[in-house]
Amino acid sequence: MSQFKIVAISGSLRKKSLNTAALRAAQELAPAGVSIEIVETGDLPLYNEDLRVDGSFPATVHRLREQIRAADAVLIACPEYNYVVTPSLKNALDWCSRAPNQPFDWKAVGILGVAGGAAGTARAQFSLRNILVSLNAFGVNQPQVMIGMAQSKFDAEGRFTDQAGRDFLKQHLENLVKLAHKLKG
């Protein structure tokens, strides 16, 4: 049986991002036979259709689209800025939304988010779910992974130490794999 591949996108560009740290925790917690690759989005140009030359996407955009297309599922770490997804995440999704061969079409997507406040990233995740509808992608509904009060759940090296949160994340990943298999029929 071939390896089940998940590509992970962090909505944060910060070097010490706790959202990216949560994706590293997902790599540790992935079910047997599942690999998770965190992909680069910080090198994408701001979305501008004029950057497509003869219908071709810029090289960094093409790379991201192909990584998503080749994956069995996608995992997105969704920070919250002003109640919605971050500009960098929205930019990546906007580039991926364009025809032809939009790579999120019928793709299973897991969502998690880390924030300092008690509500985690609830509003941004709601915003992201609306974007996924426009991409014809299917989000994992349960369990929701909204890691609030992040300062008490990650250690100084950025390791996710909250056992209850790790358990939610592990179950979310298992459900992401199940959803992806159901979508493939």
19-38 per-position pLDDT tens digit = 999 999 999 999 999 999 99
- What SS3 class is residue 72? coil
For residue 1, the model assigns a pLDDT of 53
The whole-model pTM stands at: 0.97
Res. 16: pLDDT tops 80:
yes
What mean pLDDT comes out for the span 53-81? 97
The confidence band for 69, taking pLDDT boundaries of 50, 70 and 90, is very high
Determine phi and psi for 4, rounding to 5 degrees.
-80, 125
Domains of the chain and CATH, by start: 4-184 (3.40.50.360)
Residue 95 contacts residue 28 (beta carbons within 8 Å): no
Within 47-117, residue ranges assigned H as helices are: 59-70, 87-96
What mean pLDDT comes out for the span 115-141? 95
User: Is omega for the bond preceding 143 within 30 degrees of 0, making it cis?
Assistant: yes
Q: How far apart are CA 152 and CA 185, in angstroms?
A: 41
Res. 8: pLDDT tops 80:
yes
- What SS3 class is residue 132? helix
Res. 46: pLDDT tops 70:
yes
36: enclosing H helix or E strand = strand 34-39
Residue 7 contacts residue 37 (beta carbons within 8 Å): yes
The confidence band for 175, taking pLDDT boundaries of 50, 70 and 90, is very high
Res. 4: pLDDT tops 90:
yes
What's the full length of the chain, in residues? Answer: 185
Res. 150: pLDDT tops 90:
yes
The confidence band for 119, taking pLDDT boundaries of 50, 70 and 90, is confident
Res. 111: pLDDT tops 60:
yes
Residue 138 contacts residue 106 (beta carbons within 8 Å): yes
What mean pLDDT comes out for the span 126-145? 97
Distances (CA, A) of 21 to 37, 115, 137, 158, 160: 13, 12, 24, 6, 7
